[in-house]
Amino acid sequence: MKAERDRLKRLNRLERVRAIAKQTAAAEAAQAEGTLAQLEALAERTRSMAAEYANRTGVRDAASLQAVNSFARGLEGISRNTSNDAANARRIADIKMQALSQAERRRAVVEERATHQARIIAKGSVAPVLSGKKKSGTGLE
For 12-43, write each residue's pLDDT tens digit.
999 999 999 999 999 999 999 999 999 999 99
Q: Which positions ≥6 away from 132 have C-beta within 8 Å?
A: none
* Contact of 18 with 107, CB cutoff 8 Å: yes
| Among 3, 24, 12, residue whose Cα is nearest residue 111 | 12
Cα(80)–Cα(46) distance, integer angstroms: 9
pLDDT of the residue at 69: 84
Cα(94)–Cα(76) distance, integer angstroms: 27
Q: What percent of the chain has pLDDT over 90?
A: 53
pLDDT in tens, the chain (141 residues): 788 889 889 999 999 999 999 999 999 999 999 999 999 999 999 988 888 887 877 778 888 888 888 888 898 899 899 999 999 999 999 999 999 999 999 999 999 999 999 888 888 775 555 565 566 666 665
Cα(108)–Cα(121) distance, integer angstroms: 20
Q: What is the pTM of this model?
A: 0.70
